Amino acid sequence: MITNTARLPALDVLRGIAILGTLATNVWVFTHPAGLLGEIDGPPPSDLAEVLLRQLSTGKFLGLLSIMFGIGLAIQQRAALAAGRPWPRSYLWRAALLFLDGALNYILVVEFDVLMGYAVAGAVVAWLLCASERAQHRWCVVLVAVHGVLLTLGALAMLALPASAHADPAAYAASLDWNPYRDGNWWEMVRHRVEHLPLFRIVEPVLILPATIALFLLGARLFRAGVFEPEGAVLRRRLILIGLLAWPVDMAIAVFAGMPWWFYTRWGTAALVALGILGLVAAFYRCRPAPGWVGRRLSEVGRTALSCYVLQNVLASIVCYGWGFDLAGRIDDTQRLPATVALYLALVPLIVLAAHLWLRWFRRGPLEALWALGGRAGRDPRAPARETA
């Protein structure tokens, strides 16, 4: 049993890396002059430096976050069963709260929220974890196959769509009759998300739901296989090798193969690179159990992962959108790359500092505290209390 008195440092560090890594992906959407609509419908990036920088993070940290979520589910299941709490019933309260968090994040902050999808996938996986290892393996294989079909359909759809008539993001944004990201106030952005809910919720959350469930199951299986334990050395080396082999393929496809094939990197090879990151960090902290200064800061972000995820979206929205400082509308295309990198480098210390200061006064992040309340709400009052990492 992993308790708060015996936390594995790699767990929190990996969560912190995943959260800050998702910002490295999303920051390009925030600084696009047409926001997510421009990312979906506008011209793809043509600058090689931007393509390379984007691809370094695209999909990898979302995949890592999904794997870590699955590991968290396995830990919670083990703790619930050891404490005599019913599983998965005791988890469903947390899933409901996560869905609520995601709905509020989507409506009030950003369109590309992943929390609602994670809540649905988590509820499904909580039930699947009650099945045998063989059944879970079969489900994982089927879900990966379905995901492959969906990726192929998405790539074919991209081939069928006409190419954007605009050469750069600024021209595309200027062609819009009304650009909600530049012209709308905060309330109009809220209405925009509500009115376009099917578009924004189907493009990614539904498309990747089978893969998300499969990655949750994989994370749980890796945890049970001892990926963080001394006997997991061979497993960690295999994961590192998978990541090392997948990374150059992932980068090459993004640079040379074009947009339709990009589908197979963001939601395909990126997950394999995420496995390599998991194996590398797990191996590092087997050799060095006590994290250093950087590890402690990443660990603090990991311990407040949900709160930091929402915080980074709020901060980036304020800086980039028209109802805030309108950074994305004030810079031209020649400034966009350095401005995006500078924004990321400015936001990361703020998020790290916020997590550090909060944890000096409180044990959990504000949204994590709600999760803890959800866990207590679903707990059998006759069962002994048990805290899990």
How far is C-alpha 228 from the geometric centre of its chain's CA atoms?
A: 21
- Label residue 372 by pLDDT band (50, 70, 90): low
35 pLDDT more than 80: yes
6: DSSP letter: G
pLDDT in tens, 337-351: 999 999 999 999 999
* DSSP for 230-287, written as a single string: GGGHHHHHHHHHHHHHHHHHHHHIIIII-HHHHHHIIIIIHHHHHHHHHHHHHHHHHH
Q: How far apart are CA 270 and CA 258, in angstroms?
A: 16
- Token pair recorded at residue 333: 């295309």
Collapsed DSSP state (helix, strand, coil) of residue 31: coil
Q: How far apart are CA 18 and CA 262, in angstroms?
A: 21
pLDDT in tens, 317-370: 999 999 999 999 899 888 999 999 999 999 999 999 999 999 999 988 998 887
Collapsed DSSP state (helix, strand, coil) of residue 322: coil
* DSSP for 325-348, written as a single string: T-HHHHS-HHHHHHHHHHHHHHHH
Q: How far apart are CA 382 and CA 340, in angstroms?
A: 52
Q: Does residue 170 contact residue 33 with C-beta atoms inside 8 Å?
A: yes
- Token pair recorded at residue 152: 């192929």
- Label residue 287 by pLDDT band (50, 70, 90): confident
Q: What angle do helix axes 333-361 and 293-303 make, rounded to 10 degrees? A: 80
84: DSSP letter: T
- Label residue 92 by pLDDT band (50, 70, 90): confident
Q: How far apart are CA 303 and CA 325, in angstroms?
A: 30
167: DSSP letter: S
Q: How far apart are CA 285 and CA 303, in angstroms?
A: 17
**Domain definitions of the chain by residue range:** 4-377
pLDDT averaged over every residue in the chain: 88
Q: How far apart are CA 375 and CA 369, in angstroms?
A: 10
